Amino acid sequence: MGLLDKIRGEFVDIVEWIDDTRHTLVWRFPRFHNQIKNGAQLIVRPGQIAIFVHRGKLGDVFQPGNYELKADNLPILSTLQGWKFGFDSPFKSEVYFVSTRQVTDLKWGTPNPVMLRDPDFGPIRLRAFGAYALKATDPKALLKELVGTDGVFEADEIGELMRAIIVTAFSEVLAKSKVAALDLAMRYRDLSEEVRKAVIEKVDEEYGLDVPQLLIVNISFPEEVERALDTRSSMGVIGDMQRYQQYQMGTAMTAAAANPSGGGASEGVGLGMGFAMASQMAQGMGQSFAPPLPGASQWHFAENGRPIGPVTLPQLAEFVASGRVNAETLVWSGGLSAWTAAAQVPQLASLFTAAAPPPLPAR
């Protein structure tokens, strides 16, 4: 090997891209004055495509492999350069490496709520977010429409455009599906695929891109609607609202009884709650007390530690006759200062006095 051949061999260029990023779509090989020597080695690694550009015109495209750059494997560039019989000197050209692997973990979301006419709630606003993957499939279209002369083109640079396209496709698919808002969760997979196909139709031929994956992670209601749904769900879980109120009042009475420091005020509150609870419990057990006539006295009596009433005096007399109320039963009415045994109340004392039989007629 001569000295000239040795020098030429030492100066043979290696054109390659060692990608240490995860979001770079296009990278331009840096050359001084864009000069590449004859016989340079071009290394295109898996997941890459190399494309030559001469004076703004797209040239030869190389798939993954190892190439020695000569006139015979640069037919388009040879035509653009005017090489008729090969070349021996450096030539000017830009070399762009395009990543063909998937760029993952890209996010999308609705910056503003999407309006939807729902069969259950009527007009409603929905928000959504998710993730998608991006992949370059047509390097020439990508360079022509998006990259231009950019030396490094990241996926983030097209992020705003992709999010706008995805949100538009999502809104269209959601409107056409006519799925009730409460049933959307079970349709995430189908809706995601429909949105992905709609997005591909807008970016494949025009920008040379593919969307291998697109996922809808969540579709949410506005906060006020979520609160209303929570209330509605709680009522459904509670079921019998009347029994739930009885339980709540019973719990409050227990708490009041356990807090004797409250004094007379807490006793009055507990007594009032007891009256209300007794009335509701009586209704729950199928017993109902007719409201007293205007001007009629109202009575309450204690039973199993709970006040029952209000009842009228004739009704109370019936309870005495049936044995439900006896002389020791505590009763209360508006004219009494405290709960008192029934036999000690003048208005009720006659109910517990046995009537003497009339004298026998004389013979």
Band the pLDDT of 162: cuts 50, 70, 90.
very high
**What's the pLDDT score for residue 150?**
79
Q: Inform me whether the pLDDT recorded for 123 exceeds 90.
A: no
The percent of residues above 70 in pLDDT, for the chain, comes to 74
**Per-residue pLDDT band at 280 (split at 50, 70, 90):** low
Report which residue type is found at 35.
Answer: Q
What pLDDT, on a 0 to 100 scale, did the predictor assign at position 298?
87
- Tell me what the mean pLDDT of segment 275-291 comes to: 51
Please report which confidence band the pLDDT of residue 65 belongs to, taking 50, 70 and 90 as the band edges.
Answer: very high
Give the mean pLDDT of the chain: 79
Q: What is the pLDDT of residue 200?
A: 94
Binned at pLDDT 50, 70 and 90, residue 4 comes out as very low
Tokens of 299: 């009575």
- Ranking 200-209, 214-223, 278-287, 335-344 by mean pLDDT, the lowest is 278-287
Mean local confidence (pLDDT), 152-172: 90
Higher pLDDT, 9 or 188: 188
**Residue in the block written with tokens 């061999």:** 9
Lookup: tokens for 144: 């022509």
Instruction: For residues 247-263, give the mean pLDDT.
Output: 62
CA distances 175 to 184, 201, 231, 254, 282, Å, are 12, 18, 27, 54, 52
The answer to whether residues 253 and 277 touch, using CB atoms and an 8 Å cutoff, is yes
pLDDT higher than threshold 70 for residue 272: no
Region of 335 please: left (phi>0), alpha (psi -120 to 50) or beta. alpha
- pLDDT of the residue at 63: 93
Separation of alpha carbons 250 and 266, rounded Å? 14
Please report the pLDDT score of residue 183 as a whole number.
86
Q: Residue 231: is its pLDDT beyond 90?
A: no
Q: What would the pLDDT profile of 82-99 be if each residue is shown by its tens digit?
A: 776 677 777 888 899 999
Q: Residue 78: is its pLDDT beyond 50?
A: yes
